[in-house]
Amino acid sequence: MDFRYSTEQDDFRASLNGFLRDAAPPAMVRDAAGHDPQLWKRVCNELELPGLHVPLDYGGAGGTLAESAIAFSELGRALTPVPLAATTFAIEAVCRTGDEEQRRRLLKGMLCGDQVGALAVASPGDTDPATARVRAEWRGGTILTGVCGPVLHGSVADLFIVPAVADGVVALHVVAADAPGVTIVNLPSFDVTRPVARLELAQAPSEALSAGSPEDIERVMDVARVLLAAEMLGGAEVCLAGGRIRLHPKTIRPSHRLLSGGEARLCRNADRDRCDAHRRDVRRDERRGRRGTADRRPPG
């Protein structure tokens, strides 16, 4: 299997790298509260990053998961303070589990940057009927009760995609951030560019994404895992390259022992080898994901 990117994909990466170098300098990363609204609008409207692998019929760019992974890698490299991950995962959930009307209605605001979406899944147990923390009930409409978190970029989200269990089956539901019964509690985050929050639901009104199966939900999670891996790989590569974080050889202390310069270089070379291996894994998973995009394209 060929793990190399195409010329067009390499050009896209270089162009995105240049854009982020100018638009998201280190000073912005340090000052931003995890979300820069003006930069986010540019990311959505000029670069169309949240919709890179969304079909054209729904307002996306019609690309593949590989292009989205490139975007995640470059934003991870630049520590860009925008809610790309949270919104892309919410978009993926709507594409996979929403019906035709829901896709056309819900995707538009997230794709253009008018709305920030957030997928309220913090662990595999959140989508397991036996351990899901939110329950759904019908009382003249679907209402949700429970707690989710930590939710990535939950503090700035306009809508949440929430897994909830009813009759032993988990389905995804859309909940507006300003709906009655919704409380958002900001939580401390080690990474200031990735704020998290706890979502508390007390009989909050919701809309079920009606076309999804348990397999579709797991597919959403698989795509999220691939893109997060690409983002982390971009951050790891810039650290090893001595970009935004510069390490002196003698500051590396495995087993509480100072390393010589030669030993430190060997450690960094080993880390680069691991990055190369992870890059191949991400590319393999991108290709697997690409084969799975056809099932969400509209008929005809």
CATH code at 180?
Answer: 2.40.110.10
Would you say residue 181 lies in a domain?
yes
| Domain hosting residue 201, numbered range | 117-212
Bridge partner residues of 207 (DSSP):
174
Would you say residue 143 lies in a domain?
yes
Would you say residue 236 lies in a domain?
no
Contacts of 38 (CB under 8 A, 6+ apart): none
Would you say residue 231 lies in a domain?
no
Q: What is the count of structural domains for the chain? A: 1
Would you say residue 158 lies in a domain?
yes
Tokens 């390490």 found at: 247
Would you say residue 177 lies in a domain?
yes
Length of the chain as a residue count = 300
Would you say residue 54 lies in a domain?
no
Q: What is the pLDDT along the chain (300 residues), one digit of tens a residue?
A: 566 889 999 999 999 999 999 998 887 877 656 688 999 999 999 999 999 999 999 999 999 999 999 999 999 999 899 999 999 999 999 999 999 999 999 999 999 999 999 999 999 999 999 999 999 999 999 999 999 999 999 999 999 999 999 999 999 999 999 999 999 999 998 888 889 999 999 999 999 998 889 999 999 999 999 999 999 998 888 887 764 444 444 444 444 444 444 444 444 555 555 555 555 565 555 556 554 544 554 433
Would you say residue 132 lies in a domain?
yes
